[in-house]
Amino acid sequence: MDKLEKFRREIDKIDADMVKLLEKRWATAKRIGEEKRKKGLEYYDQKREEEVLKKVVGKTSLDKNFIKDVFTRIMEYCRNGESE
């Protein structure tokens, strides 16, 4: 196997891991939503989402706007999306 193929397989593995983590995050967010409903709390918590963004942006060496955009979309999906 040449280097290019090796790197591509590594990317494939990383992508699969990322999908699994996104699915896990979605499922956990759904459980949080169910718990909030039981307690009569608002589902959307802007302050919490701002805290999450601040944390992830502070932990990256990547472009901070890119990470903020990615996590904003992830949180929007977890808040509004439906799993198939």
- Phi, psi for 82 (deg, rounded to 5): -120, 140
Q: What is the pLDDT of residues 72-81, one digit of tens each?
A: 999 999 988 6
**Which residue range(s) make up the domain with 44?**
3-80
Number of domains in the chain: 1
Of the candidates 35, 34, 76, the residue with the CA atom closest to the CA atom of residue 52: 76
Q: What is the pLDDT of residues 16-53, one digit of tens each?
A: 999 999 999 999 999 999 999 999 998 899 999 999 99
Using the structure block, give the residue that is written with the tokens 């959307």: 44
Q: What is the CATH number of the domain that holds 40?
A: 1.20.59.10
Q: Which pTM does this prediction carry?
A: 0.85
